[in-house]
Structure 1
């Protein structure tokens, strides 16, 4: 069969009396409902990746890479997701589809890559649910260790299920609240850590840049490389903004706002957040997550060692909310990814359906059941050990996904130009093209090679077949699925860009959607911003 024909979806166009295209819902071509507003997308984009990777994973990264290693790791990962987000922004406005980048990959690269990416990403969402559930156990152990691990996992597994089986608007509001808490607390963390480092805490110990001066890299260059999987894992989830676009009232107005907020998250949460850790906590502290002590977050350790016990408890509560929120978002994203696969004929057709309120029950059930089931691995192993397994697997899936997003964007623009269309016709254009897309693609490819090196020669260990496959089985699985799909689909290795139907699956916008009313003065700007958030 021909790849291009298999992947195209019908699209209709309606014109108003003035001749403007006014189609509202033919971009998604699914049973999802467009009921989320700008504030939902913006806050999900701000908070979807703020979970266990940052609050707890920073501890293992600090131990492995040292102060300079963790900061540079987040700087590199941040530049990558910034590039990926701009590619997502341009394409999500043009093609707001249920599984977003999976369907973009099938449209502009090849169906085999789309199948491999879709199932890899779906499984990575299941892994993330499991990782966040076991992270909740670690967070709660700060207060008590008397409750069995399996009991905590079961309780909060059902909480994540409850958030996802409610109406989509309920899920959106829960994530807005959780993201607002995360975003607001980071300002407290930054200010308080500066005070602690300067000696203004009750213990009056001035730390400054002591740990940077004594040992910026704890295990040299290899130690720096070892923190990259955790940094990638921490930032995974930012791409979920592309999935949410399929349920937005007006992606043309909402998505650019979310893309524009990326630098806020990168600078505040990751760069400044990791910097605060490095100036307050020693990389050799035994209580760091992954160490021999309490396995606490470095942020909690900073407050506790500064004799600010109430702040340590509040910080732990914020981490709890963050981790639970990220787990629920993964359930949402996994269900939409399986729905997009079904639209491409790559998953059972039942997964393509949603109820009248927009809930894709088949995808939700499978994602939540498998994700929760994997969490019970934590019962017989330490939280840090399970985190290491899952973060390595997820980071490889994420690198593959980010790479496909950038490559899809590059090939979309080439197809657009090849078929004689002008970039001025796009509903929204990113100013970063093509440099950001190529930057993201280059580093995704390079870091997949780096992770092969780390899987073969792990930090602090000798080459071992079991360790290699435990850390690199993601790539093996992707290759097996991709090659199997190649045998099934046959045809050319690449979609012929000259024959791609650029209007199939596209969302058309009316002149009202495209227009931005003039804004004059500070009061008017504030009013316009408030109206935008309340959409």
Structure 2
């Protein structure tokens, strides 16, 4: 099979003209060449903005910060979140530019197939599908850790079974129901972070009844626990915590007008990064000791460091509320992973890399054949926690998903770079792009560079782990994600007999594309003029 045959094989099957009116006589989208999906475009700007704000806030931040604090120290976890934040900020801008023009069901999977290489699209698609169902398992096993703060009388398997059903119901009751649930969860998480920041500063300053001032005591004692290797060990948790921010690219295919919605979601990234992750991690480092045995991953109760901070400050009411917010966050992230996994399978099916039946969706926009296997495998995998500690399972799963995520982020940046290259060499003007990111080209290259560096760094940790002797068991349990990616990529290369990446000069830039009216583009550009305005609109829209 020649390279040109491969490219034709994976082009989008149906190219349609799609007119969408909002009931005011005005058509915003004049052509939609990717409208071959049975998904229903029921999501609004409010939905995509709030999902982008809160979709990645789960156990990675609330619980995983504890194990990261213990292994990397205060400076290690803070710098880890700072570096990860710059990466996903760059990745999100690459997503924004492509999602506005190519709002496809599996987004970055189909972009990789189109702009880089069908084998890369295949490897990324199945890697991310595994990433999503592993995240479901990880969030379900976190439920037991969170609820054990209140009671240990209920068996682990019972808790996981109950909330597995809850995640299933959120996904099967329709896209609009799913979106409204996520909006509520995101508002709770976003509102609570302000309480965490203010109360954490008060606790650290000595304003709580439980103890005196802490300040930067733990920074002065041992800022980098376990040195440079300890810092590297923090990165998988930081990447796992921020995984999910790329879901804005997935939901773009089910929004009424990506040209309005996606830039607002991208514009809110700085707010989420600064408040949720950077400020959140800083609060942990000035309120909780890295040697506290009760933090997640320690020898004690394995509680969230935020909960421990309130409990030791003699603020039990805030500790209980914090635990409840963590519980909501865990279920929210699990639900979003079911949504993302099913859309990834659907997108793979669209480009001929999964059974064609997975493209089918009902009148409510539910892709049953892609949704069921994602939810079933993810829930079934969670039962590993029955025989192992929550922190141990979390470590396994976060290592697996962080490597899948790094690969995904890297492919998003690479797809953006090659999309822009194809746009240029085919003689098209940058002004013809419906939305342009101001971070080009440095943002895309920055994200790609650090993804490559961290994948190499995690290889080093897999060979020489922190606090353990090197072993084949540890290497494969930590680095099996990369092995799976390589096998998928090489298998696809051999099967499709393709020897090089797609030629950017021959890419059909209009296949899978959505076209907008010039007036609509000008209006949206005016509304998304400044970063500050974008951030404020993201909160209150």
**TM bracket, shorter-chain basis:** over 0.9
CA distance in 1, matches of 2:253, 2:228: 42
Other-structure match for 2:7: 4
- Aligned residue runs from structure 1 range 253-272, under 5 A: 253-272=260-279
- Aligned residue runs from structure 1 range 364-443, under 5 A: 364-443=371-450
> Measured at CA, do residues 505 and 273 of structure 1 come closer, stay the same or move farther in structure 2, by a change above 3 Å?
same
Other-structure match for 1:167: 174
Q: Judge conservation of contact 1:3–1:110 (CA < 8 Å) in 2.
A: no
Q: Please list every run of 5 or more consecutive structure 2 residues that lacks an aligned counterpart in the other structure.
A: 21-26, 528-532
CA distance in 2, matches of 1:151, 1:530: 38
**Residue-pair matches, total:** 524
Which of these residues, 251, 254, 257, is aligned with residue 247 of structure 1? 254
> 1:183-212: CA deviations, max 9, x gaps?
000000000000000000012410010000
Residue 85 (structure 1) shift: 0.1
CA distance in 2, matches of 1:300, 1:42: 28
Q: Judge conservation of contact 2:493–2:499 (CA < 8 Å) in 1.
A: no
> Measured at CA, do residues 462 and 287 of structure 1 come closer, stay the same or move farther in structure 2, by a change above 3 Å?
same
Other-structure match for 2:342: 335
Query: Is the partner of 2:515 in helix, strand or coil?
Result: coil
- Aligned residue runs from structure 1 range 338-349, under 5 A: 338-349=345-356
> Measured at CA, do residues 514 and 285 of structure 1 come closer, stay the same or move farther in structure 2, by a change above 3 Å?
same
> Measured at CA, do residues 471 and 377 of structure 1 come closer, stay the same or move farther in structure 2, by a change above 3 Å?
same
Q: Judge conservation of contact 1:11–1:506 (CA < 8 Å) in 2.
A: no
> 1:357-379: CA deviations, max 9, x gaps?
11100111000000000000000
CA distance in 2, matches of 1:56, 1:166: 29
> Measured at CA, do residues 386 and 22 of structure 1 come closer, stay the same or move farther in structure 2, by a change above 3 Å?
closer
Q: Judge conservation of contact 1:108–1:497 (CA < 8 Å) in 2.
A: yes
Query: Is the partner of 2:523 in helix, strand or coil?
Result: coil
Other-structure match for 1:522: none
Q: Judge conservation of contact 2:129–2:344 (CA < 8 Å) in 1.
A: yes
CA distance in 2, matches of 1:238, 1:28: 24
Residue 516 (structure 1) shift: 1.4
CA RMSD after TM alignment = 1.8
> Measured at CA, do residues 271 and 144 of structure 1 come closer, stay the same or move farther in structure 2, by a change above 3 Å?
same
Q: Judge conservation of contact 2:264–2:538 (CA < 8 Å) in 1.
A: no
> 1:72-111: CA deviations, max 9, x gaps?
0000000000000000000000100000000000000010
Structure 2 residue 281 is the aligned partner of structure 1 residue 274: yes
Other-structure match for 2:76: 69
Which of these residues, 78, 85, 89, is aligned with residue 78 of structure 1? 85
CA distance in 1, matches of 2:413, 2:485: 18
Which of these residues, 98, 110, 113, is aligned with residue 105 of structure 2? 98
Query: Is the partner of 1:23 in helix, strand or coil?
Result: strand
Other-structure match for 2:370: 363
Q: Judge conservation of contact 1:217–1:223 (CA < 8 Å) in 2.
A: yes
Query: Is the partner of 2:438 in helix, strand or coil?
Result: coil
Q: Judge conservation of contact 1:28–1:95 (CA < 8 Å) in 2.
A: no
Q: Judge conservation of contact 1:399–1:444 (CA < 8 Å) in 2.
A: yes
Other-structure match for 1:140: 147
Q: Judge conservation of contact 2:16–2:32 (CA < 8 Å) in 1.
A: no
Other-structure match for 1:448: 455
Residue 3 (structure 1) shift: 2.1
Residue 11 (structure 1) shift: 2.4
Q: Judge conservation of contact 2:267–2:538 (CA < 8 Å) in 1.
A: no
Q: Judge conservation of contact 1:28–1:246 (CA < 8 Å) in 2.
A: no
Other-structure match for 1:222: 229
Residue 421 (structure 1) shift: 0.1
